[in-house]
A and B are shown apart, each in its own frame.
Chain A
Amino acid sequence: MTETAQDTVKEAATTPLTMDALEPTLPARSQWRDVWDQFKHHRGAMFGAGFFVFILLFVTVGPLLWHIDATYIDIRARNQGPSWGHPFGTDQLGRDIFARMMAGGQISMAVGMTAMLLSLFLGTAIGVMAGYFKWLDGLLMRFTDLFLALPLLPLLLVIILLFRERLNAMFGPEGGIFILMVFAIGITSWMNTARIVRGDVLALKEREFILAARSIGTKPRRMITRHVLPNVMSPIMVSATLGIATAIITESALSFLGLGFPPDFPTWGRLLNDGTDYLQQYPERVIWPGLAISLTVLSINYLGDGLRDALDPRIRGR
């Protein structure tokens, strides 16, 4: 894998040979157009994107169309199986699981995506800096060691103790706890990404094309954005996929411990957790949230795969 700009040049040189004779030159064809073309021919990626959009619509538009509130208790209708009124049945208090899946998905998706992006950003930034700048390596990696060593639960308790009241006052109870959750999950899960990215950058730094780019006087900033980052995309993509699953599960574990969202906010992780006790009597209660989390993660995985292939100029056009 070489650097993208270089490849555009290479590709421009080779395309006329393989292109259709009716289009001898392609001056206006942008790089992103190529990426999109490749992406849309990737079956897995299209499936992933489609499903992802479906889930997004399900959790955002769904609640507008579905008339039952996720927290409304209809105690006479508890522990019901699927029916037209309750397509996924009801839980032990008679709340509609379909509505809870939609409401829960909103929180889980929002927390999962934002926390994953935050952790990815931190991990990539620290990993690239440590790998690229030798003088930062020692400091940043010892910092990473420190974070890896911190016990998660007491750390979260401290974060909540210090910031909850203030955030609640600023953003209201829901907004406050959302920011707190994203922040807590984000800052406790970037370390693996950072170490992996750093390892790759260390190796990459010694490759010929980097040396070449450096020898022509490319500035570090440009080196990183144009040459280093595109070449460490694939481990970052894997981190992203795994990160979103971890974030959704961690959120549920935190809520379960009473460190997360108030108990009347359903999330997928919490639905799964609550349903586990009823695994034998009402297996569908764990199947829906379990399936939702798994399929979301799968769809992001395929999206990532497609994106990676599309961004790799050597695979593109194959």
Chain B
Amino acid sequence: MNFKKTLLSAVAFAAIAPMALAERGADGNVSIIYWQAPSILNPFLSGGTKDVESASLIIEPLARYNEKGELVPWLAAEIPTVANGGVSADLTSITWKIAPGLLWSDGTPFTSADVKFTADYCMNPEGGCAQLTKFEGVTSVETPDDLTVKVTFEKSTPVPYGPFVGGESPIIQAAQFANCTGAKASECTAENFGPIGTGPFVVTEFRPNDVITMVANENYRDASKPAFASLTFKGGGDATAAGRAVMETGEFDYAWNLQLAPDVIANMEKGGKGTTVAGFGPLVERIMLNNTNNDPALGPDERSVVRPHPSLSDPAVYKAMSLAIDRPLLVEVGYGPAGKVTCNWIPAPDAFNSTSMTCDQQDIAGANAMLDAAGWAMGGDGVRAKDGVRLSYLYQTSTNAVRQDFQALIKQWFSEIGIETELRNINASVFFGGDAGSPDTFQKFYADLEMYANTFNGTDPQAYLANGLCDKAPRPDTQWQGENISRFCDEEYDALHAKLSTTADIAGRAEIGRALNDMAVERGMMIPLVHRGRLSAHANSLGGVILNVWDSELWNVADWHRVK
């Protein structure tokens, strides 16, 4: 009897399962939790990851990166290249062909006018668009016909895949946002909270910084998708609680970016309701070395401005420091499966990952010998000194449990090679805020060493490598803005970077990129520590999740389905 029943249900199940996959809305509700709550659904008005990713459920770009970092057409019919004639031979223009038959969720057709409007919207000087870099160098966007968009750049652009590519640059509907351009952008609350899109879901209610409810888009281009009829997107709390809600209590299906200690994650996985997925982009946790003198005795306009640093300018010092760090242990303690040892500033994509340096072995004795040879003699207090300069550093970072563990470990290793460290942790909203009035921002760098992580969007690091150029250093006359945090300055580096910006051939670009990377690390810009991945968790019953670190994590939500 029992057997028969089981058999019957198995047969019924087998019959239903493929059908369920092929029908829109058959799998009920899917719930996602982000421990940072989205505050707006218009990524052009907020660059926050939480906002960009939640909006990616609704609005989409012409092309995006897949989980391997390759460009795939999304709303476009194909990826324009020089080979297929989409990109002009002189690299100054790119012509996108939009896939025919696309509809907005309100049923109106998606045309090239919407694409052009999006560009105008973001490039409006009064709008304060957060994704302006995507449109850097664009001189015009033309629409020869309803399905063609031609973007022209002011100069030869080897990588023309900035505008309309990736989750940061989706297309918004011209009809909806027509009255929201320029200074009026921020007054359009209804539009910013409920953009009309082409994506698999449509907003029904948006509660800022709390929760979003969505239903499947009736007009989505694939009639069988999405498998879920509705979606709940909850925000707020902390990573621990988000992980717990997916893996231990099973209240949610997907939890984003679980920055937690590996043993905490491992314990949650024992809950048996969910699994973690990890992916690696170019995110690197590093210690930036201050190339300028940060002595508090210098005035506010000279501190962290005048060169050189009294001791960190000596390669022996920072090389010894790098040697004293046990990177495999840092990975094990701090990131587990979501971390890898790296000696590079640019660890990904693979073509750009330099292999010329190794750093996976801690060597305290070697570090000590290196310092001895350079003339840094051990003092009576266990701190090395030379010509009255003591190796005593202020080491700051943002407040975060893993970073404080790293600080403690590194302080101890440095003490073993005769370097004294004073630790400081700073509230993240102050540290990463660019307030020129605060002495504690990472841009001001009123310390010798500071630790944080940084990455770049897309797969081409040219703009990111520009962070090492002399003129990008934050200083008083730039209101302490600028991306060259360590104030690294090297003529050779600047020259090589100029060469990169004119090189089109991929292999050549990768070679120059690797050389720039090596130069930055060898000449004292930073000590790379850990190549960090993204770790997210999904319920065991949620199928189709492919973690993508090159684009929005929710990029393929249309393919998500319930595993029966």
Contact = CB atoms under 8 A, between A and B. Distances in A.
The answer to A–B direct touch (Cβ < 8 A) is yes
Contact of B422 (A173, A259, A280): A173
Nearest to A257: B427
A92 B267 contact: no
A7 interface: no
Please classify the interface of chain A as helix (H, G, I), strand (E, B), loop, or mixed, using the class held by over half of its residues: loop
Contacts of A277: 240, 260-261, 264, 401
Most chain-B CB neighbours within 10 Å: which of A79, A95, A280?
A280
Interface in B238-280: 240, 260-261, 263-264, 267
B407 A264 contact: yes
Contacts of A155: none
A281 B423 contact: no
A262 B422 CA distance: 8
Given A157-B430, A281-B263, A93 B423 contact: no
Interface range on chain A (Cβ under 8 Å from partner): 20 to 34
A71 B421 CA distance: 13
Given A93-B333, A258-B398, A263 B408 contact: yes
Interface in A140-183: 157, 161, 165, 169, 173
Contact of B426 (A78, A95, A165, A258): A258
Nearest to A161: B438
B438 A263 contact: no
Contact of B425 (A72, A169, A258, A281): A258
Interface range on chain B (Cβ under 8 Å from partner): 20 to 34
A137 interface: no
A73 B405 CA distance: 10
Given A258-B399, A262-B425, A281-B263, A92 B240 contact: no
Given A75-B329, A165-B296, A258-B426, A92 B399 contact: no
B472 interface: no
A274 interface: yes
Interface in B407-434: 407-409, 411-412, 422-428, 430-431
B31 interface: no
A232 B399 CA distance: 42
B425 A263 contact: yes
A264 B398 contact: no
Nearest to A157: B430
A257 B399 contact: yes
Contacts of B440: 161
Contacts of A78: 333
Nearest to A278: B264
B140 to A, nearest CB: 45
A165 B431 CA distance: 16
B404 interface: yes
Given A157-B430, A165-B439, A274-B401, A93 B261 contact: no
Enumerate the 7 nearest inter-chain pairs by beta-carbon distance, A residue then B residue, closest first: A258-B399, A263-B404, A258-B427, A258-B425, A262-B423, A263-B425, A73-B412
5 contacts: A71-B411, A92-B333, A165-B296, A259-B427, A281-B263
Interface of A: 71-73, 75, 78-79, 92-93, 95, 157, 161, 165, 169, 173, 256-259, 262-264, 274, 277-278, 280-281
